[in-house]
Amino acid sequence: MPEDREVPDSPPPFLGSWRRVYAGVILYLAAVIFAAYLFARAYR
Amino acid sequence: MRALDWVVLLASLVSIIAYGLYRSRGSNTVDRYLLAGKTMPWYAMALSIMATQASAITFISTTGQSYVDGMRFVQAYFGLPLAMIVVCATVVPVFYRARVYTAYEYLENRFDAKTRALASIIFLCQRGLSAGLTIYAPAIVLSVILGWPERATTLLMGATVVTYTVIGGIKAVTWSDVQQMCVIFLGLWIALITVIVMLPHAVSFGDAVYLAGAAGRLNAVTTGFDWNDRFNIWSGLIGSTFLFLSYFGCDQSQVQRYLTGRSIAESRLSLLFNAVAKIPMQFFVLFIGAMVFVFYVFVEPPVLFQHTELARIAVASEYRGVENQYHEAFAQRRDAALALAEAHRSGDGAGHAQRLADFRRAQQALDGARAGAARLVEAQGGEKGFNDTNYIFLSFVTRYLPAGIVGLVIAVIMAATMSASSGEINSLATVTVVDIYRRHFRRGASDHHYVTASRWATLFWGAYAVVFAGWGKKLGSLIVAVNVVGSLFYGSLLGCFVVAFAFRRVGGTAVFLGMLAGEAAIFWAFLWGGISYLWYNVIGCVVVVGVALALTWMAPGVFARSGAEDRGGEKS
């Protein structure tokens, strides 16, 4: 079987750390759902 | 199709395939043929991941889904960004460090050979069925356009896909996907603009959006909870998170794509691009379907969008009554829509409520007439549970789009299918060769031998997919069918990987039995539970984890990993 090896885990090209990128994606998801909710409400 | 359409179609397809094959030069080792030598940049992987999901089904079925049921299907993607974050944070680095070709190869490292074999077999069953559906979708296109039987067009598409995949390997698949997505975005915008331009002069874009909303076609978010309701915000956020965790964390057709990356960071970026872009894209496609619905409010659509079934019932004596009812309901709906749009524009609050009720009543009458025609199909010996959702968008494209644009849209649909299907078949071949053949039947053979075996496996799975595609029309809306088939198997796979990553003491036999119990629970829910499919993933995962933990707790001497294994991490 293949063995584990050291693979460099480099930081993202923006926001400084992967945690911040993930937090940004969650905020984005909340905004998208809220926008879709307002859209559906406005045209129901 | 006119001459210009054929020129655009052939030129698009030939250039995409030729470019993909050109970029796949030198794919003559297992590492290059199956993992592109780990040289792919993030944007190529990102578009390839997106293209695999956005197959022809996205165009054909999602637009039809929106036409008949509104935009609430978009909620099925709300869990995707959450799943992507979990996969990026946990799965991607583990697979990279384990240097695996397949996700299931890791399971032997963590558990044992039988768990790896069971996971591989579950994947092969599930993805083999889905690959059939992926081929069936464009076969409908050719069938509608050329008037050929679906069986013949399925065979034609399948043969093309298999030839392309056998020659190209994953590098060809990925680079052709990049081109496909560019063409897909172009085609989507052109389709939307064309629909809006073709609305009657008296109907503005604002009116069209308002009418779609009045008919319940813009119901993008529904907050009520119901186990039987396929699409609401709860099943979207919870159920689809599990579905996409399974899809991107345990399904080799996706795992193989981000394993081709140059680094962990590049693979993460490719997944997070999809986390951000996928919901707007699905929203956009569904919105096109809603606009097609509004177009058909003013231009009478056929009673049924599947012309062969329409021709079958047209000779029946009862059809005349259904047709008259349909004509009458259409005229009432059109007039009610114009009056409603006028009342909305003028701000006539008192008249507005009455006109809205008139419009919705006329819509119900029209739906009733269509349902009557569908019943007539069954009465005349047609398929049970007749459903023409998949024909709606194609019918619109071929009847109303201008020359050249029809060819482009058809090219997009066919090229997307060829790419998505080739990716699936490629991953099926990879698992067959790496996890089954090389592991259990022929160890230590030459690189050339395994590349040849991969090509033969590709041929086998292509044939399998074509045979299964013959069942496609019995499964209703294709986009839903694909997700239902996936959900029958994904929950158990996900549970297995959750145990692998989160519960270090659980051994291989416990998780193996857990997976069998998980599959039993999912099939119980599917056959007798009356539960929406998005929840199967949750059920399967919870049962696998629960059974594996319970067995380990009850009989640690039998089911727990030994202390040495536990301290040392994975087995070597």
Among chain B residues, the shortest Cα distance to A43 is held by: B213
pLDDT at B479: 55
Q: What angle do CA B509, B515, B521 make, to 5 degrees?
A: 140
Check whether residue B226 and residue B326 sit in a common domain. Answer: no
Same domain for B122 and B49: yes
Asked if residue B258 belongs to a domain, the reply is yes
Give the pLDDT confidence score for residue B549 in this predicted structure. 94
Q: How far is B25 from chain A (nearest CA, A)?
A: 27
Buried b (16+ CB within 10 A) or exposed e, B385-421: ebbbbbbbbbbbbbebbeebbbbbbbbbbbbbbbbbb
pLDDT of residue B473: 59
| Chain B contact set for A37 (CB, 8 A) | 220-221, 223
Same domain, B355 and B419: no
Instruction: Report CB contact under 8 Å: A7, B93.
Output: yes
Domain with B75 in it: 3-24+33-296+397-440
Across residues B224-241, what is the average pLDDT? Answer: 79
In a domain, A39, yes or no: yes
Average pLDDT, chain B: 83
- Burial string for B36-57 (b: 16+ CB within 10 Å, else e) reads bbbebebebbbbbbbbbbbbbb
Contact B570 A37 (CB under 8 A): no
Number of independent structural domains in chain B: 2
Domain count, chain A: 1
- Can you tell me the distance from the alpha carbon of B281 to that of B181, in angstroms, rounded to the nearest whole number? 11
Within 10 angstroms of residue B293's Cβ, the number of other Cβ atoms is: 25
| B479, two tokens | 């986009």
User: Residue B122: which pLDDT band, with cuts at 50, 70 and 90?
Assistant: confident
pLDDT band at B430 (very low <50, low <70, confident <90, very high): very high
Split at pLDDT 50, 70, 90, the class of B542 is very high
ipTM entry: 0.89
Percentage with pLDDT > 70 across chain B: 92
Give the separation between CA B481 and CA B472, rounded to whole angstroms: 9
Same domain, B313 and B426: no
Asked if residue B397 has pLDDT above 80, the reply is: yes
Is residue A10 included in any domain, yes or no? no
Nearest to B272 among A1, A3, A21 (CB): A21
Inter-chain residue contact B276 with A28, CB threshold 8 Å: yes
Give the pLDDT confidence of B303-315 residue by residue, as tens digits: 888 877 888 888 8
B227 domain-assigned: yes
Give me the residue from A5, A8, A44 closest to B219, CB to CB.
Answer: A44
Q: Which residue among A3, A5, A44 places its CB closest to the CB of B572?
A: A3
Q: What is the chain A residue with the closest CA to B221?
A: A37
> Which CATH number belongs to the domain containing residue B11 in this structure?
1.20.1730.10
Name the pTM for this structure: 0.82
Assess whether B46 and B134 both reside in one domain: yes
